[in-house]
Amino acid sequence: MMRRQLTHIIAGGAALALGLGLIACDNRTLRVTAPDVVQPSALTNPAALATVTAAVYADFGYSYGGDGGDDEGFVQQTGLLGDEFHSSDTFPTRNQIDIRQTTTDNAQLGSIFARLQRARATGEFAARQYQSLQPGVALEAEALTFVGLTYIEAGEAYCSGIPFSQITSTGAVTYGQLEPTAQVWHDGRARLDSAIAILTAGKDTVDSKAQVALELAFASVVKGRMLIDSGDYADAALAVAAVPDGFVFNQGYAATPSRVNNGVWEYDENEGRFSVADSEGIVGLPYRTANDPRVQWVDSGVKGFDHVTELFNQHKYPSRSAAIPIATDIEARLIEAEAALKAGNNGLFLSKINQARADAATDLGVSVTAASGVPAGLSAVQFLFEERAFGLWLTAHRLGDMRREMTQYGLTADQVYPNGPYPKGGVYGPEITLPIPVTELANPNYKTCDDTKP
């Protein structure tokens, strides 16, 4: 089995959040013994690269899954705007996102956007350090893959017109222009192509063949995701064709300190602020009532944090140290399935769907019965997106898929997004993406974008 568990313990830092870390890399362990605040001047020799890598893992993990005491992560916030989670919280900032009426001064919105941009900047910094100090190794490619992934997440979640500012080596900020979604895909692909070029050059004498193969599978799945987002289905299938069954690339979390807790577990199971949705707003998918083993949840038997909403806890991540998948064989096979469907090859489509279902036994520890065909009452497209929703549940894929159902498959917002009466009062709004937060006002290029357009 090809599997990567990223485990890290990171504290905050100055210009770059760097610190104590323990990174499990397959069969080798890198122990970082630097202090919890590392100045940029200390990062100018190859011995510091392990610390730089630890920062990439830490900042991405903080953005992706949140933590144990500050804010949720990308998984929860996109799931809330989509149809995976329903707010069982009292915070109006979370309820705004759930009801699809997010204001640009929403504190949760500003926090998650800042974390995503920080993860991108940390990855860019790490890639530059490797290029300068130890070019051509697998971890340089990995840093670029993480950067590419932040572009993808931004493009999937935010409305068209996203700023990507840069921090120079002296700490100066070059404010980014507002990039339309197509440019975001272009920028993400550039990083991923660079990562794959490093991994396929055959010049790496530092890493094992297994490590290079692992990083190549990671970069390939992320690139396939970006190509699907941009509507390049055939090339997406080619990108993931060599990704083996059994591949999982996890973002690790730990029991202590709270900075590295799995925030999905924290805010759902521990605090009761998010509840697993079911057919939310008329058209949401039946995550609970479908009884699909890939959607692991439990009825808590109590009300949520708001003392009103029934609390249904996700159980895919059953502890504060549970890892969250970033890229998997399931996703690779689903990308191939979509490309086959687009090409009119229904036999290959079903075969790849069933291959992805079989991979769930390895990835999730559950058994999913093979499908004999498209289920009655569903179109092939509906079946595809339901399979993606269940197979990739709570991994920050769903919101991007909902937008694609509109842009690539011609559905309307009311056919895809929760709508009608909102359970806590009022009605769902028109928002289908997250707006760019007002915290970007420091950027002279800032202006709001239209969060009602896909």
- CATH number of the CATH domain containing 65: 1.25.40.390
In a domain, 308, yes or no: no
In the predicted structure, residue 305 carries a pLDDT above the cut 70: yes
Residues 6+ apart with CB under 8 A from 380: 341, 346, 349, 374
Residue in the block written with tokens 């705004």: 96
**Residue at 305 is within a domain:** no
Checking if the pLDDT of 15 tops 90, the result is no
Taking residues 240-266, report their average pLDDT.
Answer: 95
As a whole-number percent, the residues of the chain with pLDDT over 90 amount to 85
How many CA atoms lie less than 13 Å away from 109 in the CB half-sphere?
Answer: 27
pLDDT at 279 over 60: yes
Q: What is the mean pLDDT of residues 416-433?
A: 97
Residue 270 lies in a domain: no
Does residue 301 belong to any structural domain of this protein? no
pLDDT band at 34 (very low <50, low <70, confident <90, very high): very low
pLDDT for 39 = 54
Number of structural domains the chain divides into: 1
Q: At residue 336, does pLDDT exceed 50?
A: yes
Task: Give residue 188's identity as a one-letter amino acid code.
Answer: G
Scanning the structure block, which residue is given the tokens 């144990």? 68
pLDDT of residue 91 exceeding 70: yes
Residue 375 is assigned to a structural domain of this protein: yes
Specify the pLDDT at position 1: 52
Residue 291 scores a pLDDT above 60: yes
Residue 294 lies in a domain: no
Q: Strands, E, within 305-427: which ranges?
A: 310-314, 324-328
Helices 380-391, 346-363: axis angle to 10 degrees equals 10
What's the domain range around 395? 3-258+321-435
Among the residue ranges 66-75, 203-212, 216-225, the one predicted with the least confidence is 66-75
Longest dimension (CA), the chain: 63
Please check whether residue 287 lies inside any domain of the structure. no
- Is 223 among the domain residues? yes
Question: Does the pLDDT value for residue 257 go beyond 60?
Answer: yes
Query: 3 versus 343: which is more confidently predicted?
Result: 343
CA distance 122 to 143: 9
Closest CA to 321 of 264, 238, 389: 264
Question: What does the pLDDT look like over 145-181, one tens digit per residue?
Answer: 999 999 999 999 999 999 999 877 777 889 999 999 9
Query: Is 290 exposed, middle or buried, given 0-12, 13-18 or 19+ CB atoms closer than 10 A?
Result: middle
pLDDT tier for residue 24 given thresholds of 50, 70 and 90: very low
Does the structure show a pLDDT above 50 at 17? Answer: no
Is residue 444's pLDDT more than 50?
yes
Report how far apart, in Å, the C-alpha atoms of 114 and of each of 270, 428, 438 are.
Answer: 25, 26, 11
Q: What is d(CA 219, CA 149) in angstroms, rounded to the nearest whole number?
A: 9
pLDDT at 6: 41
Which pLDDT score, from 0 to 100, does residue 45 have?
A: 75
Model pLDDT for residues 380-419, shown as the tens digit of each residue: 999 999 999 999 999 999 999 999 999 999 999 999 999 9
Report the predicted TM-score, pTM, of the whole model to 2 decimal places. Answer: 0.91
- Return the ∠ at Cα 226 (arms to 224 and 227), rounded to 5°: 65
Rounded-to-integer distance, Cα 77 and Cα 262, Å: 14
pLDDT band at 326 (very low <50, low <70, confident <90, very high): very high
